[in-house]
Amino acid sequence: MNSADAEVKCDVLVIGSGIAGLSFALKAAKFGEIVVITKNALSDCATNLAQAGLAAVFSSEDSFNAHMQDTMTVGDGLCHAGIAEQIISSGPDRIQELASWGVQFSKNDKNDLDLGLEAGHSHRRIVHAKDITGAEVHRALRTAVLQNPQIQVHEQHIAINLNIHAGRCLGAYVLDKTQDFVKNISARVTVLATGGLGKSFLFTSNPDVASGDGIAMAYRAGATIMNMEFIQFHPTLLYHPYAKSFLISEALRGEGARLIDGEGNRFMSNYDSRLELAPRDCVARAIDSELKRTGVDHLYLDISFKDPKFVKKRFPGIYDKCLSLGINIAEEPIPIVPAAHYAIGGVRTTLSGVTNIPNLLAIGETACTGFHGANRLASNSLLEAAVMAHYGAKECSDILQKNRSVQSFSPWHAGDAVDSDESVVVSQNWMELRLLMSNYVGIVRSDKRLRRATKRIVLLQNEIDQYYWDFKITSDLIELRNLADVAQMIIDSALHRKESRGVHYTVDYPQKRQSAKDTLIRKSVMSDIIDLNEKNGTGSPKNK
């Protein structure tokens, strides 16, 4: 490779290609030259797999206050009210903007938006494109991005580390996987939009790219990380040996689908009066309890009692996928298990993505604004990502006006690293880490399991770090290192929270504490907890 190709300069570097990253890029392209990098193909992201939709108020029977109340109730006392109010009130505008970019949302017979119902919602407010909403949203965004001359897209590029100089972010070191070469991408603004970290667990609805890259890089760079103990497990992942990470949308339960055991008996009445429409944390714990009580591998979700024509029309993606695997959901129940689905915690930011590191923004699932509290309300995630991209682009414009030059930084130095002759170490550690997290840091936790996880994750991190410095960088090694870092943050945060709240449930502390507090971590040191300021939805550090 020519040495000139080893450095790329741009106004804004966007790391990630989901709804947050691409929406941001389209808006920020008005202010400068944008480079979007994505570790695989542009379409390899969690957005593309999202089935249900975006929650927003469009019905005359609904209201922002009702959406707020549902969000706050499910968030279990930890939602930042000011943030929630801004995001929810911005929802309809962001939906209309997506439609203006070409997203074809489902309409009813009156040509109005066909609003779905999901668990935890008091009204129908889920804007969707049948059951392939994410794929439709991403199709439109991809088309718009690829047609924009201000945006360059680099596929097969995975970020390694952020470059921080004098406390400011100058860009990132990026591995070009195709040419096997590390580049410097320097930028006036760097945006982390890398999504979640579901690959930390054995069962996940997330795509293979969800290895917590943005959170891990920000953590190593000194960013404050917030509420990492809150990992939302989706109750219904398709249980099938050839159905990797395929989610059975919550929208099925919104349309009346029932959870049953192998004998056809419903069991949710034993756990929650809201039955299948209880929030995700309640349903996931109920399924987990039934699995452990009976010793079976999976349970079932049944919608076969509904009109087959309705099932096929409302859920064509799920119907076709299941049918390809020999399961006719219009005639038989669907085998399911709970799976890691969404990282509620992440890089601590404002609504516009501002972190504690100048020139570094984080948006979407990578960020933690406090919107979701301790448990995310269904279909609030794509909503938050779209709104954060909107406000983040405005913030980016302000930064670009103040920061008018791109600053170069030293090229990547491999030192004495050599090609690996033991790649089995990576695959072994990867599997061990995912088993560790699933068995010790899953839906139901205990101090004993978390302490075991703490001891083992330290050994894994040491082994992975040694491998990282001894051998030349690869995509698998980058992801493994990031997964180990986020796993350590999850474990530390879970141990620190001496209560059960939202999706964090521990048998040692089954009750909630009276006051709701966020968990903050910075640079491997657990910080003090902050009090939640309910008036303006922000927290103020104590005893710093």
**Alpha-carbon gap, residue 429 to 497, rounded angstroms:** 27
Q: Which residue has the tokens 């903007």?
A: 97
Closest to 236 measured CA to CA, from 386, 338, 359: 338
Q: Which residue has the tokens 């521990």?
A: 506
Q: What are phi and psi of 302, to 5 degrees?
A: -120, 120
381, two tokens:
């995630």
Closest to 471 measured CA to CA, from 412, 422, 410: 422
Cα–Cα–Cα angle for 367, 350, 502, nearest 5°?
A: 55
What b-and-e string marks burial along 246-267, b requiring 16 or more CB atoms within 10 Å of the CB? bbbbbbbbbbebbbbbeeeeeb
The residue type of 15 is I
How far CA 31 is from CA of 189, 333, 393, 401, 427, in Å, comes to 11, 51, 9, 9, 43
Q: How far apart are the first and last CA of the chain?
A: 48
**Residues 6+ away with beta carbon under 8 Å from 98:** 23, 54, 105, 137, 140, 386
Residue 413 exposed, middle or buried by CB count within 10 Å (0-12, 13-18, 19+): exposed
**Alpha-carbon gap, residue 377 to 279, rounded angstroms:** 7
Q: How many CB atoms lie within 10 A of CB 150?
A: 16
Residues paired with 163 in a beta bridge = 171
**Alpha-carbon gap, residue 238 to 322, rounded angstroms:** 9
Q: Please list the active-site residues.
A: 280
DSSP characters over 434-492: HHHHHHHSSSEE-HHHHHHHHHHHHHHHHHHHHHHHHB---HHHHHHHHHHHHHHHHHH
DSSP characters over 30-58: TTS-EEEE-SS-TT-SSGGG--S-EE---
